[in-house]
Amino acid sequence: MSTMLKSILHEIMGTSVREPHLPRSLEQFLGKKNVLIVFADTEDDRPIVQDELLRISQMRLIEDDIEVFTIAGGGAFSLFEDGYDLDVDEVREQLQGPLNGEFGLVLVGADGKVKLRSDKPMSAEEISRAANIPSPRH
């Protein structure tokens, strides 16, 4: 169900749309790192495209303190293999991620607020810009 449809349903039913809430398993990053969550359970090529975009800019993401997790098949996998443990169901629910089988990404800033939400793959530069990290100067 799209975010717009959820919002319309909330309006019709008279309930307010709640703000995303920081999942407990992401609290370990507060004040330290931005966290990009990629929901990759879709059958199309968006997860592959997103993975390629992130891997070619891996050093930029590390330098910009952006931790990346892919959620697929009921598990969370770190792009940087740092051994963090995330509660996948809590992350999906609290961040209002897409339903199982849908692609999406959510960027949570070091301040715990959602900075970016997309249903399309994005470059590391776009993600860093959304996190308010200036572009490197050459």
Burial 24-36 (b: 16+ CB within 10 A, else e): ebbeebeeebbbb
Q: Is residue 38 part of a domain?
A: yes
Domain span including residue 86: 30-130
**Furthest C-alpha separation in the chain:** 53
Nearest Cα residue to 36 out of 1, 84, 100 = 84
pLDDT of residue 10: 54
Q: Is residue 138 part of a domain?
A: no
Q: What is the pLDDT of residues 20-67, one digit of tens each?
A: 778 999 999 999 999 999 999 888 999 999 999 999 999 999 999 999
Q: Report whether 129 contacts 114 (CB < 8 A).
A: no
Tally of domains within the chain: 1
pLDDT of residue 16: 45
Q: Is residue 5 part of a domain?
A: no
Domain CATH for 89: 3.40.30.10
Integer Cα distance of 7 and 96 in angstroms: 12
Sign of CA dihedral 23, 28, 30, 36: negative
4 pLDDT band, cuts 50/70/90, is low
